[in-house]
Amino acid sequence: MLGGSAVHFALAASFFTEVRVVGPVGDDFTDEHFTVLTERGVAVDDIEQIEGGKTFFWRGHYDHDMNVAHTDETELNVFADFVPKLSPASHEAGVLFLGNIQPDLQRDVRKQASASFAALDSMNLWIETARDSLLAAIADVDCLLLNDAELRMLTEQPNLVTAANAAMDLGPGVVVAKRGEYGAMLFTADGPFAIPGMPLEEVRDPTGAGDSFAGGFLGYLDAVRVDGTHDERALRRAMAYGSVMASFNVEDFGTARVSSLSEDEVAERLAAFKRLTHFHE
């Protein structure tokens, strides 16, 4: 089914701002797939369709612990020879999200983009196989988003606070640790912020939750960016919107829930997150 970092990210971010997707797909990426994006107002003209190519493919499964995805099959396909070319509109975007991919590609895109706020996601595979390039990519962005286990692995620090501080020393002023069903944490010079996951009676498919989080987080930040910077209050609200979008993502398979979501539902769930987390001193 339709999925992938860029798709989940774009759909989530589209509730807050204008989104442009850059990346390659194959012939198997149908009009129906494009429509899922365009119906949410996502600009798809930077999606390069490779004739005779096959779209990137991932298959995995989850056991009892839905926080851990087990990869059964990965086909890079059209990503294997991809050379990103940013259109003028993408070049000028204010906020840039570098989805999880080979860090050389991330650095290439970062160089082409003039974004005043760039964020990067990665994974254990690149930490293990392309560490130096990944460290260079991280040094060039303002925000690092990783799972908490990956953040510990990257920095070789078993303690999450120490790991986040070490990650900030690599360059980014904003570090987000994603924690699956336990929510996410924000680390900045202003100190930590933690938001739990929304307790849900049914979790159908956690695939893409991290990218939906990034979409809500960065989409909101783009919407409220005034002078290219973000204050702590905006970053915290962005964390809440990221959690909102991730919580919808897991309620159904693939893009089913987020692509059919209403803005009222987003606002309602933000209020639910506030009820879930706030107490009076």
How far apart CA 11 and CA 248 sit, in angstroms, is 11
Q: Cβ closer to a second copy: 51 or 281?
A: 281
Give the residues lining the site for a second copy (CB under 8 A): 64, 158-162, 179, 182-183, 185, 191-197, 199-203, 233, 236-237, 239-240, 270-271, 274-281
- Enumerate long-range contacts of 259-267, CB under 8 Å, 24 or more apart: 259/11, 259/36, 259/39, 259/40, 261/15, 263/15, 266/15, 266/241
CB of 185 to a second copy, least distance (A): 7
Q: Cβ closer to a second copy: 70 or 278?
A: 278
Q: Cβ closer to a second copy: 73 or 202?
A: 202
CB of 181 to a second copy, least distance (A): 8
Dihedral sign (CA 116, 105, 244, 170): negative
Q: Cβ closer to a second copy: 112 or 277?
A: 277
Amino acid type, 95? V
CB of 268 to a second copy, least distance (A): 12
CB of 115 to a second copy, least distance (A): 25
Q: Cβ closer to a second copy: 79 or 220?
A: 220
CB of 124 to a second copy, least distance (A): 16
Q: Cβ closer to a second copy: 88 or 191?
A: 191
CB of 119 to a second copy, least distance (A): 19
CB of 162 to a second copy, least distance (A): 6
Q: Cβ closer to a second copy: 90 or 155?
A: 155
How far apart CA 159 and CA 222 sit, in angstroms, is 31
